Structure 1
Amino acid sequence: MTVLALDIGGTELKGAVVAADGTVVRTVRRPTRPVRPARPARPTCGAGTALDAALDCATELAELARRAGLRPRAAGVAAPGLVDEAAGTVVRAVNLDWHDVPIRDRLAEHLGLPIAFGHDVRAGGLAEARLGAGRGSHSFVFVPVGTGIAAAVLTGGRAMTGARGIAGELGHLVVRPGGERCACGGRGCLETVASAAAIARRHARLTGMTTSGAEDVHRRAVDGEAQAGQVWAEAVEALADGLAATVALLDPERIVIGGGLARAGDHLLAPLAAALTERLAFRTAPRLVAAELGRRAGCLGAALLAQDLLVGDPVAEGLLTEDPLAEDPPAEGLLATGRAAEALPPGGAP
């Protein structure tokens, strides 16, 4: 059962054609907001531009499947922001300038296929649950820490959506009451201290220097810069506070840390695990591990959603993750035996 998969990001679209045996046959990467002529014939802001790009990417995936002699049976799409998975709608996605966009219906009409739709973080968590760092865990929490912070709660390979479809807003858990104002309108949210954006911003405020981002702050901390070390330690402490509340409520077997900050490896995980253990008192701390799938997780999760839509049961084996979507080496044990017959043609987003 060949499926198409599409992961819609704020800056980039990632797509894949996945064959019946789970092999990723073709992949595509495109900017979410394509460069348009200076005076376009139609509006290029808001939902139109990003939605058109998503539809164009879906068309390209369908054509790549046809050229490979494959007939897609369904497509899966993962989108950011506040989503209504039951209605197939992106309620609000600030980075896309989307409000109440019926992405599932638009893709179904465009492709003539049944469409599975999910939140990008939950799709990434689903992929980590079945193919990555969550394998073997009945319950775990996937926490990508990047520009923002979110969470996906997985039990038995299924993601919890909540009554209104917005479960997992870990970044807006208040960990520093009365603290910095958050984009959500609250004060002292976890995102204002521990996200990659917050780490860079807090370091700049403390030192008066501009850095290239949280990874630069991390490097400075490792090199012994006191201010960078302070900002990094404060981020770890705040993240431990948020995870301690998560553990108290959910008692997961494992917590999988993803996103750009996870690339710090043990410089993040070791102090975070120690700080979390301190906060749990009599409770046993869950295992804390780095995500394995990197930037591929959302697209692979979208493929799994599409396969689940067709078969009604989880499809967990065989997805080939050694592909042009990968920034990191593929995790051991995730390679299918099949390989694409020809390389993806050039022209994708860097």
Structure 2
Amino acid sequence: MIPPVISARSDTSPPGEPPTGRSVLAVDVGATTMKGAVFGEDGQVRHSIVVPSRADGDPVGALRELCRRLRAEALASDVAPAGIGVVTPGIVDEAAGLVRYASNIRFRDVPLRALVHDDLALPVAIGHDARAAGVAEAVAGAGRGLANFVLLPLGTGIAATVVLDGDPVPGTAWSAGEVGHMPVYPGGEPCSCGQRGCLEVYASAGGLARRYARLGGTPGLDSRAIAAATATDPLAGSVWDTATQALGIALATLTLTLDPARIVLGGGLAEAGTHLFDPVRDALRAALAWRTAPEVVPSAFGVQAAQVGAAILARRAAGLPVPDGWAAPVSAPVGS
């Protein structure tokens, strides 16, 4: 059975009288940190907390502790939360509220919705981080008003969200969008997934840093430092060029398969702005010999997209409406 989509369009409230003028809690679980926030009725962040993910210790316990702390801080400020949304990477069964497998955060068959509901006694929405980011972009970001677009958050890994008629597509087994493991250089460098030549090896923030170090670069440099060093460090320049070329090839494959109206790049790596976007756009155009390339634009929310999506899912779980443009950012993104 094909799982249902997660609606990204504005909601209508269910029968009855849903709570109004109330906040929601949103948590974005990453491989390194977990980001929690309290969103007010107007879509603006009232409080925020960032804590380590503790993936090598008790990652589920760390997440539950963050959720309890976030609710306590909201109540201490006389802000009554109406619901909570929690999003993670990996294979996430939103319908069952279950994280089936997420290697970067060491989750396997975690009944997250039940656990968080037991702790907080609030309506709980569980989602996939990239699909939640797609919800945010569709409601109030770079995909607003479009019938279809593709979002790629470029972070520790790379996933994608395919949005059709305002809805992110989860796939038959909740695994749609694993483009990080799309082979861009067949027979290339090994990936942790067991394949070779995966996009994530070359063009994710984590993969780029690992590749630079493995080829003899200055130890400890992250993707931002590598990007900044490209003008003076030949190895940094070579690794960066390979990354942008790999990303352009992947976007060409997505374009030929899906024909999106727009491609949106988000995540930390996209903060490199035109230093990333210009060569990626060039590589995409070069890979499409017979058709026009779709526009490639930065996420409106940047690294906060998944958390905003979690807040939108929380409002829906609580029976609160999500007006078109809710939580829209106040400043323009970089790289446009």
TM-score range, shorter chain: 0.7 to 0.9
1:104-123 aligned at under 5 Å gives the runs 104-123=113-132
The aligned counterpart of 1:331 is 331
C-alpha contact 1:174 1:190 (8 A) present in aligned 2: yes
Matching of residue 29 in structure 1 with residue 50 in structure 2: yes
Q: Which residue among 284, 297, 300 is the counterpart of 2:292?
A: 284
2:260 aligned partner: 252
TM-score by length of 2: 0.85
Aligned residue type for 1:226: P
Q: Does the C-alpha gap of structure 1 residues 16 and 217 become closer, same or farther in structure 2, counting only changes over 3 Å? A: closer
Listed one character per residue, the Cα deviations across residues 69-100 of structure 1 (whole Å, up to 9, x for unaligned) are 33322211111222222211111122322211
Structure 2 residues not aligned, in runs of 5+: 1-19
How far residue 320 of structure 1 moved from its aligned partner, in angstroms, is 7.0
Is the 1:24–1:320 Cα contact (8 Å) retained in structure 2?
A: no
Whichever residue aligns with residue 298 of structure 1, its letter is A
Report the AA paired with residue 273 of structure 2. Answer: G
- Contact 1:307 1:315 (C-alpha < 8 Å) held by counterparts: no
2: CA distance, partners of 1:288 / 1:87 = 34
Are positions 1:13 and 2:34 aligned together? yes
1:213 aligns with 2:213: no
**Displacement of 1:304:** 0.4
CA distance in structure 2 between the aligned counterparts of 1:211 and 1:74, rounded to whole angstroms:
40
Shift of residue 23, structure 1, vs aligned partner? 3.2
1:261 is aligned to 269
Q: Give TM-score, length-normalised by structure 1.
A: 0.82
Cα distance, 1:212 vs structure 2: 0.8
Q: Is the 8 A contact 1:132 1:331 kept in 2?
A: no
Residue 193 of structure 1 and its aligned partner are, at CA, apart by: 1.9
C-alpha contact 2:270 2:302 (8 A) present in aligned 1: no
Aligned length: 312
What SS does the aligned partner of 1:6 have? strand
Determine the C-alpha separation between the residues in 2 that align with 1:313 and 1:77. 18
The CA deviation at 1:241 is 1.0
Tell me if 1:302 matches 2:310.
yes
Match of 1:107, SS state, is helix
CA distance in 1 between partners of 2:322 and 2:147 (Å): 14
**Partner of 1:27: helix, strand, or coil?**
strand
In structure 2, relative to structure 1, the CA distance for the partners of 1:62 and 1:253 (3 Å cut) is same
> Helix, strand or coil: the match of 1:22?
coil
Taking a change above 3 Å as real, the CA distance of residues 229 and 135 of structure 1, as seen in their structure-2 partners, is: same
Q: CA deviation at 1:301?
A: 0.8
What displacement does 1:211 show?
4.9
2:282 is the counterpart of 1:274: yes
| Runs (5+) with no aligned partner, structure 1 | 34-43, 322-329, 334-350
Does 2:149 align with 1:149?
no
SS for the counterpart of 2:207 is helix
How far did 1:52 drift? Answer: 1.9
Cα deviation digits, residues 174-218 of structure 1 (max 9, x gap): 111111111111111111222223323333344454351222222
Once the two structures are overlaid, the 10-residue window that deviates more, 227-236 or 247-256, is 227-236
1:273–1:288 CA contact under 8 A, matched in 2: yes
Q: Which amino acid aligns with 2:191?
A: C
Structure 1 residues 45 and 226, CA gap change in structure 2 (3 angstroms) = closer
The answer for the alignment partner of 1:337 in structure 2 is: none
Go from structure 1 to structure 2 and tell me whether the alpha carbon gap of 1:260 and 1:108 turns closer, same or farther (over 3 Å shift): same
Query: What is the CA distance between 1:237 and its match in structure 2?
Result: 1.3
Partner of 1:236: 244
Determine if contact 1:171/1:191 at 8 Å carries over to the other structure.
yes
What SS does the aligned partner of 2:115 have?
helix
Cα separation, 2, equivalents of 1:205 and 1:152: 30
Q: Using the aligned pairs only, state the percent identity.
A: 44
Deviates more, 1:271-280 or 1:69-78: 69-78
Deviation sequence 1:275-310 (CA, Å, 0-9, x none): 111212222211111223222222111000111234
Q: Is the 8 A contact 1:211 1:217 kept in 2?
A: no
CA contact (8 A) 2:158 2:180 kept: yes
**Cα shift at 1:151:** 0.8
Indicate the RMSD between aligned Cα atoms, in angstroms: 2.3
Q: Which residue in 1 is equivalent to 2:8?
A: none
Q: Which residue of 2 aligns with 1:39?
A: none
